[in-house]
Amino acid sequence: MVALAIFGTLCASDPAKSEEISVTQWGNSLYGLPFAVAMDKEMFQKAGISITGILGSGGGGTTVRNILASPTPYGEVAIAAALAAAREGLDLEIVNVGTRSVAESSIVTMPASPIHSLEDLVGKKIAVTSPKSVSEMLYLLDLRAKGIDASKISRVYSGGYGPGLTMLEQGAVSAAVLIEPLSIIKKAQYRTVVAARDILPPMTTSVGITTRAYAKANPDKLRAIIAGRRAGVDFIYAHPDEAAVILQKSYGLDAAVAKEAVDNMIGPKMWSDGEFNQTELDRMVDALRLIDEVKGTVDWPTLIDRTFLPADLQGKQ
C-alpha cells in the first residue's frame, strides 16, 4: 500500500503527464494563439508541464464552471466571466492576464450602405450578439467614445456573429458587430464602419483563472503554464510570420487570413506576457458597468494572486 501511494504521488507530480487546459473561444478568437504557439514549439514542456490539448468553449459562466471542475483547473476566460463567477462565490483566483486589447472588434455594414460612420446609425438598427455580451459592451464603448447617445440607435440581439451578418444581408439591421478572424474572412462582403483599434484604449479583456485549492497544491504547474504561455507571446511578437503559420494550422484558416489576423494584433500588442496593469483592469471594469455586469468596486487584492508570475512581472502595475 505504501508503494502504491508513493507511485501515485510520483505520477501526480510527473511533468511529462499530458494535461488539457481551457481557453475561451478556442478556434474562433485570437485569445488562444499563445497557447497554440507554446504547444507547437514545446514551450510548455520546457517550462515543466506537458500541455497537449486545449478545450474550447463559447465563453461565459459555463466555461468558468467547466474549468474549475476539470482535472487541470486552469483556463483563460473573459474577465467579465471571471468576475461574475467570483460574485457567485465560486472558488477561483486570477493568476495572469491573457489579452489586453479590443483591437479585433469592429462594426460593419453592406458595401453599398449609406452608413459611413457611427453617427449615421442614429435612428437605425444594429445587431449585437446577446445582452450583456462583450460585443454589446464594446459597441457601447464605441458610442461613448464618439459622444453618441446609445438610446438613439436600436439594438437587436442576433445570438451570434454569423446570425447578425445574416440579418444585415437581409436588411433587418443597418450594421452588425464583428470580430477577427471572421471579419477578415468576410471582408470582401462587408464594409467596416469603425474598428475598435482606432478609437478604444487598451484594457484587460481575458485572464487566467484557477481554483485556490489547485493553486495551493500545484504552484509549480501553474508557474509552468504561465511561463509557457509567456514564451508563446514573446515568440508571436518576435516571429509573427511563423506564428501566423501556427494559427493557420491550429484554427484551420486560410494562410492569408491567418497572417492578416496576426499582423493586425501586433501593433496593439493584444497578448500580454501575463502581468497585471491596474489602469487596464480599471478600464475594463468601467466598461462592464455600461452593461450592468459590475456594480460598485472590484476587490482586486482578494481576486488576484501575482505569485505565480515570473519574478520580473510580479511587481508590474
Same domain, 270 and 285: yes
Q: Which domain holds residue 215?
A: 16-101+203-314
pLDDT tens digit sequence for 219-250: 999 999 999 999 999 999 999 999 999 999 99
Which residue reads 483556463 in cell numbers?
Answer: 75
Mean pLDDT, residues 119-141? 93
pLDDT tens digit sequence for 17-42: 789 998 887 887 898 999 999 999 99
At residue 193, what is the residue type?
A: V
Residue 192, pLDDT score: 97
Mean pLDDT, residues 114-125? 98
Query: Does residue 317 contact residue 277 with C-beta atoms inside 8 Å?
Result: yes
Q: How far apart are CA 161 and CA 128, in angstroms?
A: 8
More confident residue, 27 or 48: 48
What's the pLDDT band for 156 if we cut at 50, 70, 90?
Answer: very high
Q: Is residue 4 part of a domain?
A: no
Mean pLDDT, residues 243-265? 95
57 pLDDT higher than 70: no
Residue 284, pLDDT score: 94
Least confident of 128-137, 148-157, 216-225, 303-312: 128-137
Of 155, 170, 198, the residue at which a domain comes to its end is: 198
Residue 69, pLDDT score: 85
Q: Is residue 59 part of a domain?
A: yes
Which residue reads 444594429 in cell numbers?
Answer: 126
Nearest to 64 by CA among 26, 20, 22, 19: 22
Residue 201 makes CB contacts below 8 A (sequence gap 6+) with 283
2 pLDDT higher than 50: no
Of 176, 198, 220, the residue at which a domain comes to its end is: 198
How many domains is the chain partitioned into structurally?
2
The answer to whether the predicted template modeling score (pTM) of the entire model surpasses 0.75 is yes
Q: Is residue 131 part of a domain?
A: yes
CATH of the domain at 135: 3.40.190.10
**What percentage of the chain has pLDDT greater than the value 70?**
93
94 pLDDT higher than 50: yes
Query: Mean of the per-residue pLDDT values for the chain?
Result: 90
Q: How far apart are CA 59 and CA 150, in angstroms?
A: 26
Residue 247, pLDDT score: 96
Same domain, 282 and 135: no
